[in-house]
Amino acid sequence: MSYRPFAEVEPAPPDPILGLTEDFRNDANPRKINLTSGVYLNEAGVNPVLKSVKQAEKMWLEQETTKDYLGIAGEATYAQIVQQMIFGPHHPAVREGRIATVNTPGGTAALRVGADFLRAQFPTATIRLSDPTWPNHPGVFRSAGLAVDSYPYYAPESHSLKVQEMLAALERVPEGDVVLLHVCCHNPTGVDPDPEQWGRIVEIFQRRPILPFLDFAYQGFGTGSEEDAYAVRAFADAGLNLVVASSFSKNFGLYRERVGALSVVASDAGESANVMSRLKQTVRGNYSNPPAHGSKIVEIVFGTPELRRLWEQEVVEMRDRIREMRRSFVQTLKKHGLKRDFSFLLRQKGMFSYSGIGKEAVRALRENYSIYIVENGRINVAAMTGANMDYLCRSIAAVLKE
Ligand code: LMR
């Protein structure tokens, strides 16, 4: 009998988001609709390569002279772009060299590098996540060995922020712990604090020895690229140390290229250099150095004024289409006679909405109509189109009336 070390391996449960996308791909129903994973689709129901990206790729194909490794942290030009996008070009933290930025394979790896760094430096810290949060957040932080807990965030009855409970919970977070906040387009609820509420949140961090870890995956998909950076700049303007995971998956449509960044804002350039050395150590022991293609596209678009203008316009188009789909979804549900008021969707921002559709209805929509929604009721509005809207709303109305 040969050695069978894997005989006892139990199968893992499917991923709550990407597992459903796999099921969707295997579904033969021609009317199937995938509202699970946060991927932008155009009116034709296709995830497009942005025109600005396509042109930059053509330029890069001509210019590329080597496939040598990038440095462990990636290119300095890329790090500058990331910092300027997040903090604004003239932010003192950028000017004073207080930010350590590493190019990571997507926003998820940024979270993971951040998690590994925190676990190594602050082994007893707990990270606190909003309730609810992106279902992959607990997995990423637990895999790094960090303890995970939550703070109140969303009130399903009123479809709004539980602001008092959230602030009270932040007052009670033990010293030395870490709090993860979504900068904009909260995933999964689409509900963000307003500037006044952010002010109250930042004020607590100014008084208390707790570290903000900001997840910034949807810049440009809320109100605008600058407006969406409000919260992260409020933290940085307050002179706070913070950690930011960011991503170009959505706003550049570079999902499969895996292009993101982790930025740590420290108190001075010396501290930031020390942090950088630790981030590099983490990266080296994990994936060694980042892939080059996606970050190069971002560099070319930012370095070519006409491509940058084109890209900015394309982000506006994506954002406007998502808003239009929100309006159309609410109207079409009404047209199909649904009594339940879905107008709260119009107040939510970004790709996602917490629809309030319960587990049973989610299952019925999948099994009877081939409409795929995350079990918690999160829907990706950016996957709705003029062509699938009627079937979608008719099916939801049928299931919710049953
Ligand atoms: C999502 O939440 O659907 C996206 O961030 C994609 C993912 O990796 O889950």
pLDDT in tens, 218-276: 999 999 999 999 999 999 999 999 999 999 999 999 999 999 999 999 999 999 999 99
Q: Please report the atom of ligand 1 found closest to the CA of residue 255.
A: 6
How far apart, in whole angstroms, are the C-alpha atoms of residue 386 and residue 402?
25
Please tell me which residue in 116, 177, 192, 215 is annotated as part of the active site.
Answer: 215
41 alpha-carbon distance from chain centroid: 16
**Residue 250 known to be catalytic:** yes
Q: What is the DSSP secondary structure assignment for residue 106, as one 8-state letter? A: H
Q: Which residues form the pocket of ligand 1, taking CB atoms under 6 Å from any ligand atom? A: 17, 37-38, 134, 136, 187
pLDDT in tens, 335-373: 999 888 899 999 999 999 999 999 999 999 999 999 999
Our mutation pick for probing the ligand 1 site, out of 41, 112, 134, 258, counting the most ligand atoms within 8 A of Cβ, is: 134
Gap from CA of 320 to ligand 1 centroid (Å):
21
Whether this model's pTM surpasses 0.85: yes
Gap from CA of 123 to ligand 1 centroid (Å):
28
Q: What's the pLDDT band for 65 if we cut at 50, 70, 90?
A: very high
Three-point CA angle 284, 285, 288, nearest 5°: 35
Q: Please report the atom of ligand 1 found closest to the CA of residue 38.
A: 3
Please tell me which residue in 32, 134, 198, 311 is annotated as part of the active site.
Answer: 134
pLDDT in tens, 168-198: 999 999 999 999 999 999 999 999 999 999 9
Number of other residues whose CB lies within 10 A of the CB of residue 285: 10
1 pLDDT higher than 80: no
pLDDT of amino acid 348: 92
Residue with tokens 């006409």: 306
pLDDT in tens, 195-233: 999 999 999 999 999 999 999 999 999 999 999 999 999
pLDDT in tens, 96-151: 999 999 999 999 999 999 999 999 999 999 999 999 999 999 999 999 999 999 99
Among protein residues, the one with the nearest Cα to ligand 1's atom 2 is 38
Q: Please report the atom of ligand 1 found closest to the CA of residue 36.
A: 3
Q: What's the pLDDT band for 402 if we cut at 50, 70, 90?
A: low
Q: Please report the atom of ligand 1 found closest to the CA of residue 108.
A: 8
4 pLDDT higher than 90: yes
**Torsions phi, psi for 211 (to 5 deg):** -100, 125
What DSSP string runs through 243-288?
Answer: EEEEESTTTS--GGG--EEEEEE-SSHHHHHHHHHHHHHHHHTTTS
329 pLDDT higher than 70: yes
How far apart, in whole angstroms, are the C-alpha atoms of residue 215 and residue 44?
30
